[in-house]
Structure 1
Amino acid sequence: MGNAPRHTGDGGAPLALCVIGCGPRGASVTERILANVPALYGDRPLDLHLVDPYPHGAGRTWRPDQPGLLWMNSAAGQVTLYPDATVECAGPPRPGPTTAQWLGGPLHDGAYAARRDQGRYLLRFLAEVTAARPASVRLRLHRARAVDLLRTGDGRQRVILDGGLPPVTADRVLLAQGHPDLLPEPAPPGLTRIGPGPADPGALDRIPDGAPVLVRGLGLVFIDCLALLTEGRGGRFAPAPGGALRYLPSGREPRLYAGSRRGVPLPPKPALDPAAAEADGPDEPLRFATAAACRAALARPGADFGRDVWPLVLAELGWWYYRALFTAAPGRARTGWPDFAAQYALLATDPERLAKLAAAAVPDPADRLDLARLADPLAGAVFTGPGDLQARLRAHLAATLRRRTGPAAAPERALVDALRRTGEVVEDLWRAGDLAGAAAGDALRRFSLGTYLSSGPPPLRAAQLLALAEAGVVTFVGPDMRVTAGPAAFRAVSPAVPGAVHEAAVLLDARLAAGPPARLADPLLRALWERGELSPEPGDDGTAGPRVSGPELHPVGADGTVHRDRIVVGPAQFPRPYANAAALRQNDAIARRLLTGD
C-alpha cells in the first residue's frame, strides 16, 4: 500500500486478514495461514475473514449442488489440498487424504470424481482445518460477494459486501476469485448468445431441442456443455464393436457446429498406469532441465530463454518420452533403450542431432516425439469441403484415443508428466527472481504447449465426443473459426474449408475467454481497475490479468504504487500428492506474507 503504515495488531485491534474468494485456492491459503500462526504470530489475537457468495471451500466451480454429469479433469488419486512432507516450504506439513482416498468409492472412468463430489472433499478440508485452528484465531465466514475494496484513513482497508451486509475491516487482503467472468455481449434481436464462461445448466436450457448451435471453443467448457446437452437431455452411450462407443440420441439434443483456433478438441488425459493409479511416492529426479542447470544457463551473459534453457527442457521431454516408448513398446524401435540412452545423453542439448538419432532408432514417424505436430495437428491443412474435414477430425480423434489409452499411453503419459515437472522448475526460477521480463514471457508462451497437452478431459469423455461426431450431433467447423452476426443468424466459417458456411440463431461461447477490464463481471475487480489500483503489464491491454510485483504477487497500480497489503492470485491446478507441489509451496509463502506483511 505505498507508504502507509502497516497495522500489526499490537496494542490495539487484532490483526485482520481477509481472503476474498474461498474456492480451492483461498481454502488452501487459509490452511497455510492457520498452520503458520503459532510460529509467526504466537497467541496474539487474529481475525480471519473468508468472503465468498458460494460455499466456503468449494467456491462456484466445485459447489456440491451442480449436476453429476460435470466431472473433474484431474484423476482423483492425484489431487490433494493437504501439504505432505515432500512440500518444501517454511510452514509445517499437514498430511491428509487425496480426493480418491477420502471418497473411497467408485469413480467415473475409473479415476475421475464428479465435481460435486470434489466439492464435498473441499468442504470437508476447510471444515477440518478451521476446526483445528489456534484458539487465538477468530474465524468469520461471510456468504457474500465483495463488491469494492476501499482504503481507510488509518491505513486499513474496508471490504464492501453486497446485500447490504456490514463491511469487513482488514489489514491485508488476498484476492483469490478464480477465473474472472466477463459481462455478456448483447446478441442481435432474435438471436441468442450464451457465454463465455463455465458451463451453465440454466443458460443451456434456453437452447431449443434439435436447434442448430454454433459453438466457439473445443476445450473443457465444450466437453461440459456436451455432457449437459446430450446425456443431460436423455441421450446415452452404448458399447460398439472394437471397444468404441455408439451414441443413442433422445431427439432433444441440439446440432452443434463447433470450432476453435486450432480446430481440434483438447487431447484427453493419458490413461493412468494401472500399476500406479494413485501417486504414492516422490517424483523421480529430472536429468537435464534441473533447477541448477536452468539457473546456470540463465546466469550466462546475454542469456536467452529460448536459446539457453528451452533446449534443456526439450532434452528432458524427449528422455522421458523415448524411455517410456522403448520400455512399453520395444518392438517399435530398432535398438534397445541402453544404447539409445547413451547416445541421447551425449547429444542432449543439440535438438537437430537428437531428431536424427530418433529417426534412425524409431522407424515410424508417428512414434517419434514431434511437439509441433502434437500442438497443432491441422497446421497448414486445407480441406475440399465439410465432409473431408469431418473424416480427418474423426480419424484424428480415434488416433489420439489410441495413443492415450491402454499400453500405448505410456509415452504420452511420460511426456505430460515431464512437461509438468519442467514447468514447475521454471516457475520456481521465476519465484526466486532468476527469470523475469522478456524471458518470463517467453517461458510462459512456450509452456502453453504443456497446458494444451495436459489439461484435457478424461479419456471416456473423448470417446464420447468421437461417438457424437460419428452420430452427426457434433460437426466440426475447422481451425481459425470466425463468427459474425447477421440480421437473422450467426455465421461461422474456417479458412481451411473454403466456401463452407454454418448458420444458427444460437451462439454458445464454450470457453473461459479473457477480456478487457471494463468487461469484467466481478464488481470488485472492475472498481480496482477503474481507480487505477490494478493496472496491466506494459504493452498489454489488461486481458492477461493485472500487473504484480513479481513472485510477491502484490498488485501494481497505474501510478506505479505497489499495494503491499494486497496479494492477487489467479486460478491454479490442484496440487498432486507426494510431488513437492508448486501450488502448495506458493500458498505457504502467500500465507506467511499475509501474516508478517513482508
Structure 2
Amino acid sequence: MKTVAVIGTGPRGLSVLERLAIGLAKKPAGSEVDNIFIIDSSCVGAGRIWNPAQDECLLMNTLSSHVTMFSELQPGEPEVFARRLTLQEWLNTTDIESLKKYCADSFVPRKIYGLYLKWFFSEVVEKLQTYTSVTVVQDEVTDIAEDRASYNLLTKTGATLKGVDSVVLALGHDRCKQDSTAVETTRTQMTCSNTKYIMADSAADMDLDCVRPGESVFVRGLGLGFYDVTARLTQGRGGIFESQGNELIYRPSGEEPKIYAGSRSGLPIPARGRNQKPLGYTQTCHFFTVTRINERRMHSGRFSLSFTSDLYPLIQAEMEHAYYVAALIEAGGRSVAEAFASEHSSERDPYRSIRAQTMSRYQLDRFPPLSLSDLARPFSGMKFGNQHAFMETLIQRIEWDTCEAEKGNIDGPLKAALDVIRDVRDLLRTSVEFGHIDHDSFVSEFKHHFEPLIALLTAGPPIFRQKELLALIRAGVVQIMGPEVKVDSIPGKYTYVSSPFVLGYCPRIETYIEGMLPTPSVAQRQALLVSNLLEKGLIREHPKFKLIGIGGGIDITSNNYQVVNRAGDNQKGMFCLGIPTENPKWFTQVGSGTARKISSFTMDAKVLVTHLLKELELKNYPEYKAVSLNGQ
C-alpha cells in the first residue's frame, strides 16, 4: 500500500496525474497505490498562472484547437478517458453560456484555459478515484522530512501528510525572493528617487492598481510580458480597439497611464505568422535530423557537440530551405521552387553555404539573406536625431513585420523559416540537454546567444496584438524607447529613461515595472519549500550552472527526472518536472500538450510516472519504447 503526493496543479502537475490514471489502469491484481495527495497553495486544478479569476484581456499564445492536456496514446496504452477533448473541442461542447462566444479557433483568454484545466482536473480525479483514494489539499507545502523509507509533508497551516512514498515537485513559476540582489538594488534605486517599483511577476498577479491615470510608467522589456502589462493598463481599464479600414484605432477610457517601454534591441517582440498548419502537422526535416546529429557525433568522435559548429549549421540550412522555397513560390515560380527544394535537400552540405551554382541558377540573391542577428537587431548601427525619427522607423518595421506575418507560416518566407524553430523544438531540446553539447558551448553559444534570438523572433504574440500596439502608439498612449535603453535616477528627485541612440529624449517616470519574467535560480525561488529542501540537501542546484551564475535549475537525472541530492545521489522517491528544472532541461515553460502529436510535454510526464510506478513496485506496469519526437 503506497502513497503518492503531487505538489502543484498547474499543467505539469496535471500531466503527471493523467499519466498516473493511465498507469494505474494497468496495475497488477493486488498491487495498489493507497492514496494520492494532490496539493496546491493557489488555484487547485489550474495553478497560479492559469487562475480563472484573472483579467480577460490576458490571452494565450497558442490557438485553442492546438491546445490539449490529454497525451497521445501509444500502442498498448489503455484508453481510460471517455472524452479526450482539445481546448477548442471543450469550448464547442460546454454548456457554460459565457464561453459560447469562443466557438471559433482563436487565441482565447488565459482564464478560459484555466477553466479547461479545472475541467480536465475533475475528469482525471474522477478516473483516479476508480483505482485509489484521492485527497485534494489546498495548502502550501513548506517542508519535507525524511521518515525512514518515506516522507512527511509539512504545510503552512500546520498539517502533516505522513507516510508519502513518492513526491512529485511540479512547482511551476515562482516569484523571485524579495531580498534578491537584483530586486533589492533596483527597488532601492527607485525608492531613493521617489519612483514606485513593481517587481517582475505574472502580469495577472502584478499590483497595477497603484498606477494612477495619466501617470508616467516605464516597462522594462518588450516581450510577451510587455504586451500583457500594456493590455491590463489599457483594455483592462476600459479602453476599446475599433476597426477602421485595415487598421485598428484605440478609444481611451481616460484611466490609462502614459506608457514608456524599452529593451536592448528597441524592438517589440515580432508577431508569429498566421497559422496555416493543420493539427498534427509534422515538419519534414532534411538537415536537422537525429540521423545527421548522430553522424556528426560519430565523425567528430565526441558525444558532447558544439552548438555553433555542429548543430546550428543544420538548423540554419533547415530554415533556409523553408525560406527560399516560400520565396520562390511567392515570386511566381512553384515549379522552380520544387526544383530548388529537390536540389537543395539532396545536394546541400549544411556545413557550407548554398553552392554558388545553386544561388545563381535560382537567382536567390534577389531575396534578402536570412540572418537571425539582423532580424533581432534591426536598428544596429543607426542613430536618431529625435524620438519622432525613431518612432517613424519603428512603426515602419512593425508594419512590415505584420505584413510578413499575415502571409502565413507556410506561404510567408520569413515566418515559414522562423516557424522551423518551433517545429523542431523537441529535437532541439533533446539535442542540447543533459550534456549533449559541450557545457561551455551550451552557456556561451546556446544560452547567451541563440536562446535570446529565438525567444525574440519565434515566441511572439498573434498578429492582432501588433496592430493593437500600433493603435496605442498612434493614440499617444505608448512610446517605445530606442535601443539599449537606460534607467537613471537623480537621488531625492526623479527617475528618467533614455537611449544613447536617440538624441534629446529623456522622459521622467513615476513608476518602474519589471516586465521581463525571469526564471529564478533554485536559490532565488521564493517558495519556502525549495529553501528548506536545499538546506537539508534533499535537492541541489545543478552544480555546473550554479558555478557560473546563470540560474541553475534543480538537478535531476536525465532518464527519469528523479531529483539529485546534495551528495550527488538519486533521491529515491522524489521527482521534479517543469520550470524548476530549467537549464538541466531546456524550454520548460511549455504549458500544454500539442493536439494530435507526441510532444515532450506529455513524454516528460510519461517517463516520470513510468519510473515512479516501477519504484513503487507495480511490476506489471508496461514500459513503452521511446518514440523519436520528430518521427525520424
Q: Specify the TM-score bucket, using the shorter chain as the normaliser.
A: 0.7 to 0.9
Question: Deviations along 1:217-271, whole A, 9 cap, x unmatched?
Answer: 1111211111111112222112234x11111222221111101232211112211
Which residue of 2 is the match for residue 166 of structure 1? Answer: 160
Change (3 A) 1:406 1:418: closer
Question: Which residue of 485, 498, 501 maps to 1:481?
Answer: 485
Do the aligned residues in 2 keep the contact of 1:146 with 1:159 (CA within 8 Å)? yes
Do the aligned residues in 1 keep the contact of 2:64 with 2:105 (CA within 8 Å)? no
Which residue of 1 is the match for residue 416 of structure 2? Answer: 414
Which residue of 2 is the match for residue 376 of structure 1? Answer: 377
Do the aligned residues in 1 keep the contact of 2:317 with 2:350 (CA within 8 Å)? yes
Which residue of 1 is the match for residue 400 of structure 2? Answer: 399
How far apart are 1:134 and its partner, in Å?
6.1
Match of 2:174, as an amino acid? P
Which residue of 2 is the match for residue 8 of structure 1? Answer: none
Matched, 1:597 2:619: no
Change (3 A) 1:415 1:42: farther
Which residue of 2 is the match for residue 215 of structure 1? Answer: 219
Matched, 1:128 2:133: no
Q: Which moved more, 1:74-83 or 1:409-418?
A: 409-418
How far apart are 1:73 and its partner, in Å?
0.8
Question: Deviations along 1:21-50, whole A, 9 cap, x unmatched?
Answer: 110111011101121124356552312111
Change (3 A) 1:471 1:358: farther
Matched, 1:468 2:456: no
Which residue of 2 is the match for residue 144 of structure 1? Answer: 139
Provide the rounded CA distance (Å) in 1 between the counterparts of 2:70 and 2:61. 19
Matched, 1:423 2:425: yes
Which residue of 1 is the match for residue 96 of structure 2? Answer: none
Match of 1:509, as an amino acid? E
Which residue of 2 is the match for residue 446 of structure 1? Answer: 450
How far apart are 1:108 and its partner, in Å?
9.6
Change (3 A) 1:448 1:298: farther
Matched, 1:74 2:74: no
Do the aligned residues in 2 keep the contact of 1:535 with 1:546 (CA within 8 Å)? yes
Which residue of 1 is the match for residue 499 of structure 2? Answer: 494
Question: Deviations along 1:423-471, whole A, 9 cap, x unmatched?
Answer: 2113234579755644555555535543332322121111101111222
Provide the rounded CA distance (Å) in 2 between the counterparts of 1:88 and 1:290. 24
Matched, 1:175 2:169: yes
Do the aligned residues in 2 keep the contact of 1:262 with 1:378 (CA within 8 Å)? yes
The aligned runs of 1:549-568 (5 Å cut-off) are 549-568=557-576
Which residue of 2 is the match for residue 340 of structure 1? Answer: 340
Question: Deviations along 1:541-576, whole A, 9 cap, x unmatched?
Answer: 362423333343333344434324322222432221
Matched, 1:570 2:582: no
Provide the rounded CA distance (Å) in 2 between the counterparts of 1:68 and 1:231. 9
Which residue of 2 is the match for residue 155 of structure 1? Answer: 149
Which residue of 2 is the match for residue 11 of structure 1? Answer: none
Question: Which residue of 503, 509, 534 maps to 2:508?
Answer: 503
Provide the rounded CA distance (Å) in 1 between the counterparts of 2:109 and 2:577. 25
Change (3 A) 1:537 1:37: same
* Identity among equivalent pairs (%): 25
Do the aligned residues in 2 keep the contact of 1:62 with 1:118 (CA within 8 Å)? yes
Change (3 A) 1:339 1:201: same
Question: Deviations along 1:85-144, whole A, 9 cap, x unmatched?
Answer: 4x6897878672211111124449951111111111111112112212263321111111
Match of 2:337, as an amino acid? W
Question: Which residue of 95, 99, 102 maps to 2:90?
Answer: 102
Change (3 A) 1:182 1:202: closer
Provide the rounded CA distance (Å) in 1 between the counterparts of 2:552 and 2:385. 37
Provide the rounded CA distance (Å) in 1 between the counterparts of 2:394 and 2:610. 49
Provide the rounded CA distance (Å) in 2 between the counterparts of 1:399 and 1:109. 27
Change (3 A) 1:491 1:130: same
Give the TM-score of the pair, scaled to structure 1: 0.88
Give the alignment's Cα RMSD to 1 decimal.
3.0
Match of 1:513, as an amino acid? P
Provide the rounded CA distance (Å) in 2 between the counterparts of 1:162 and 1:497. 51
Which residue of 2 is the match for residue 19 of structure 1? Answer: 6
Question: Deviations along 1:161-208, whole A, 9 cap, x unmatched?
Answer: 112333354222221111221134445164311120111466111101
Matched, 1:292 2:296: no
Q: How many residues align?
A: 575
Match of 1:588, as an amino acid? K
Which residue of 1 is the match for residue 272 of structure 2? Answer: 269
Which residue of 2 is the match for residue 580 of structure 1? Answer: 598
Which residue of 2 is the match for residue 537 of structure 1? Answer: 543
How far apart are 1:371 and its partner, in Å?
2.0
Match of 2:249, as an amino acid? R
Provide the rounded CA distance (Å) in 1 between the counterparts of 2:211 and 2:357. 53
Provide the rounded CA distance (Å) in 1 between the counterparts of 2:260 and 2:358. 42
How far apart are 1:527 and its partner, in Å?
2.5
Do the aligned residues in 2 keep the contact of 1:84 with 1:96 (CA within 8 Å)? no
Which residue of 2 is the match for residue 234 of structure 1? Answer: 238
Please give the secondary structure, in 1, of the residue aligned with 2:135.
strand
How far apart are 1:52 and its partner, in Å?
0.7
Give the TM-score of the pair, scaled to structure 2: 0.83
Which residue of 2 is the match for residue 119 of structure 1? Answer: 114
How far apart are 1:529 and its partner, in Å?
3.2
Provide the rounded CA distance (Å) in 1 between the counterparts of 2:555 and 2:388. 46
Name stretches of at least 5 consecutive residues in structure 2 with no aligned partner.
93-99, 580-588, 617-632
Match of 2:496, as an amino acid? R
Do the aligned residues in 2 keep the contact of 1:214 with 1:490 (CA within 8 Å)? no
Question: Deviations along 1:471-508, whole A, 9 cap, x unmatched?
Answer: 22111122232324433333323333355323212101
Change (3 A) 1:371 1:81: same
Matched, 1:248 2:259: no
Change (3 A) 1:38 1:215: same
How far apart are 1:415 and its partner, in Å?
2.6
Please give the secondary structure, in 1, of the residue aligned with 2:128.
coil
Match of 2:228, as an amino acid? D
Do the aligned residues in 2 keep the contact of 1:288 with 1:315 (CA within 8 Å)? yes
Q: Which moved more, 1:92-101 or 1:57-66?
A: 92-101
Do the aligned residues in 2 keep the contact of 1:75 with 1:112 (CA within 8 Å)? yes
Do the aligned residues in 2 keep the contact of 1:210 with 1:253 (CA within 8 Å)? yes
Do the aligned residues in 2 keep the contact of 1:49 with 1:139 (CA within 8 Å)? yes
Q: Which moved more, 1:426-435 or 1:124-133?
A: 426-435
Please give the secondary structure, in 1, of the residue aligned with 2:136.
strand
Change (3 A) 1:215 1:41: farther
Provide the rounded CA distance (Å) in 2 between the counterparts of 1:374 and 1:89. 46
Question: Deviations along 1:273-326, whole A, 9 cap, x unmatched?
Answer: 2xx5x51x4524322212122122123314533222322222222222333333
Name stretches of at least 5 consecutive residues in structure 1 with no aligned partner.
1-13
Q: Which moved more, 1:352-361 or 1:532-541?
A: 352-361
